[in-house]
Amino acid sequence: MTRFISTVRFSVKQDCVEEFIKREKDLDYSGMAEQVTLIKTGEKTFCWIGVFASENSIIACRPKMIEQLNSLRHTLEEISPDLGVTDPASGPVVFDWKPD
């Protein structure tokens, strides 16, 4: 089965960066993703990466992920009128490298 990766780019309100990080750390991802990573890409920008067992797995988790996003929404800035507060991208893993 092909694993799926989902990424979401966020821009956080300047005065909410620490709250955003704390709330993200406190979210419960058990039973959802195989792995979740949050990367700080700038002073107040972040990229969330979730690794899922399959496309069906990410589809099943979508309602919970939206609920979690809604709990963070007040800390986020609009990226653009078209995107809103998130810039998501996801798809199947086509190449995976691991050292021996």
Distance, first Cα to last Cα, the chain: 22
pTM confidence score: 0.89
Check which CATH number belongs to the domain holding 68 and give it: 3.30.70.100
pLDDT 10s per residue in the chain (100 long)?
Answer: 689 999 999 999 999 999 999 999 999 888 889 999 999 999 999 999 999 999 999 999 999 999 999 999 999 999 999 999 999 999 999 998 889 8
**Cβ–Cβ under 8 Å, residues 93 and 3:** yes
Helices 17-26 and 55-72 meet at what angle, rounded to 10? 140
Range of the domain at 49: 4-92
Position 98 in a domain? no
What pLDDT sits at residue 1? 67
State how many domains the chain has: 1
What pLDDT sits at residue 2? 86
